[in-house]
Structure formats: C-alpha cells, structure tokens
Amino acid sequence: METKSGFVALIGRPNAGKSSLLNWLLGEKIAMVSHKAQATRKRLNAIVMHKNAQIIFIDTPGIHEKERLLNKFMLEEALKAIGDCDLILFLSPVTDSLEHYEKFLALNKKKRPHIVVLTKIDQVDNAAILKKIAQFQKYQDRFLDLIPVSITKNIGKEDLLDTIIKYLPKHPYFYDPELLTTENIRDIYKELIREAIFENLSDEIPYETDVIIEKIGESEKLDRVYAMIIVEKPSQKGIIIGKKGSTLKRIGKDARIKMEEFSGKKIYLELFVVVKKGWTKNKKSLEELGYFF
C-alpha cells in the first residue's frame, strides 16, 4: 500500500490549546498542558498513525513577543517549526479575533500550506461558529481547509486527521509505527514535573522555574527519578518548598501520579530546589538547561 508521511506543526497564540490537541490526537498524555499561557517552551514531536499515513506532529511554544531571552528562544522554536514542516495547523479558538491569524500569515514567510483548526467550539452556539467561519472566508485563498473541533466533546478528530493526510506527501514512514514520540523518557518526565509546578504555583513563579532530571534508575516495575527544580531567586525557593516542605511534597505527589500514568510503572521521585540567579535572561544558563539558540 502506498504510504504518506510528513511533519505537521501546531501553531497559534499562547493558550490556544496546542498541547491539548496534540494529546487528544495521540490518545496519550505526553505534552505539558496548563491553563497558564506560555507553558510550552520547546518543540516536541508526537507520532500519530492514521490509515496509510504517519503524521509527525510538532508541538510549539505560542507565538508571542516578550523581551526576556527565554521568550525569544520560544518564539524562535515556533518560527523554526513553521519553516521546517510539510503542513501547518493554525489553532484559532472560536472566540478569538482574526488578529492572531493575521500575525501568523505575516510570519509564514515561506508560505507553508496550512489548515485552520477552529478550537473550543463547545464554548459557543452554532450561530457563533458559523459567524467565525464566515469571517475566515476573506482569507479562503490562503488556507487549505478549516476544521472545527472540540476536545472536550470529542468532535472533529477523524475529520481533522483525514484532512491532514490528504495534504501529506507520499513518503515511507520516517519512524517505527509503534513509536508515540521521538522524545526520550527523561524529557517527558521533565515536562510532567513542570506541569505539576504550573498547577500548584501561581503568578510569575512557574515562568521562572525549570527542571533538570539528574538521574533515572529504570527497572521493569519501578523508575527512580532524581530531579532539580531551578528558580531565579532565593525567595522563590522558599515558596516552592513551602512550610515544612508542604508545597514541594504536593508538587512531587502530583508529578509522580502523572509520571506513573504515562509509564505504567511505580515512580520514586526525589525533588530538590536550586537557585540559579537570572537564568531566564542569561544565554549561558539557558544553554546549560538545553535551550540552544
């Protein structure tokens, strides 16, 4: 049977639902999801097999502009994905104005083909969905297709996957069809710990934290994971640890549950908190944490 295979970048503003869409299409939780914007920092690949095609989805940071060096890295990651992929899914929440889409059109300098995915349609009535589709019609010569979806109501998945493979190139599979992702277990565990931090801390603190997996001891039924949480200021270290270690214990418990759900194993998790002053603004510190410009 003739096969298709290609790379599909998920692009949109922060909090457009890219990571949620990726996990939904994959049927597994591998990408960090947070209601807070700008949680995704690096590109992440997930592999979905559908009919005769292998779709390699690339999750990306949201398109935004901020002066912090880490944010510039995140924008660069999104732009690289736009330039390197075969097809783009531009995610537009149904309640958004077209301003974000217009910014994307300006950034898509190579004019990569794209599909507009109208997300969160369960939050409005049919009249509002039809109105938004009508607004996009003035750009109908710029996109290949427009697909409304709802992750919450499980609407549009099959239609979206069928539409994607229609536009993928004929090509042998790039990866073993049994693989879910090209990421290693260390990176997935890191993201699940980061997700627990975002869920248990408010304000700016999650944005000024990162995670380093120092060591993993793997066995058939148990993974022992030792990880450092990096913060920018000593005051943040105190907040993350909490009174008598209560906040750190809560983060650790949430992270461990997520890691066990993903791996199907028991997880022993040890977390430490370390101050690395100004790491989000320092190129050398960012590179030490794996953010290479």
120: left (phi over 0), alpha (psi -120 to 50) or beta: left
Taking only the tens of pLDDT, the chain with its 293 residues reads 799 999 999 999 988 889 899 999 999 887 767 676 567 778 888 999 999 999 999 988 887 776 678 888 888 888 888 888 999 999 999 999 999 999 999 988 889 999 999 999 999 999 999 999 999 999 999 999 999 999 999 999 999 999 999 999 999 999 999 999 888 889 999 999 999 999 998 877 888 899 999 999 999 999 999 999 999 999 999 999 999 999 999 999 999 999 999 999 999 999 999 999 989 888 898 888 888 77
The closest alpha carbon to 266, from 215, 223, 225, 226, belongs to 223
DSSP secondary structure of 23-75 = HHHHTS--S---SSTT---S-EEEEEEETTEEEEEEE-------SSHHHHHHH
Whether 217 and 223 have beta carbons less than 8 Å apart is answered as yes
User: Looking at residue 38, what is its pLDDT?
Assistant: 61
Residue 63 has φ and ψ, to the nearest 5°, of -75, 115
The residues near 17 (Cβ < 8 Å, ≥ 6 apart) are: 91, 93, 119, 120, 151
User: Looking at residue 110, what is its pLDDT?
Assistant: 84
The arrangement of secondary structure in 185-288, i.e. its CATH architecture, is 2-Layer Sandwich (3.30)
Amino acid identity at 189: Y
Whether 205 and 236 have beta carbons less than 8 Å apart is answered as yes
CATH superfamily for 4-166 is: P-loop containing nucleotide triphosphate hydrolases (3.40.50.300)
The residue extents of the domains of the chain are 4-166, 185-288
The residues near 4 (Cβ < 8 Å, ≥ 6 apart) are: 52, 53, 54, 165, 168, 169, 170, 171
What is residue 217's three-state secondary structure? Answer: strand
User: Looking at residue 245, what is its pLDDT?
Assistant: 95
Whether 63 and 103 have beta carbons less than 8 Å apart is answered as yes
User: Looking at residue 204, what is its pLDDT?
Assistant: 74
pTM of the prediction? 0.86
How far is C-alpha 207 from the chain's CA centre? 15
46 exposure class (CB count in 10 Å sphere: 0-12, 13-18, 19+): buried
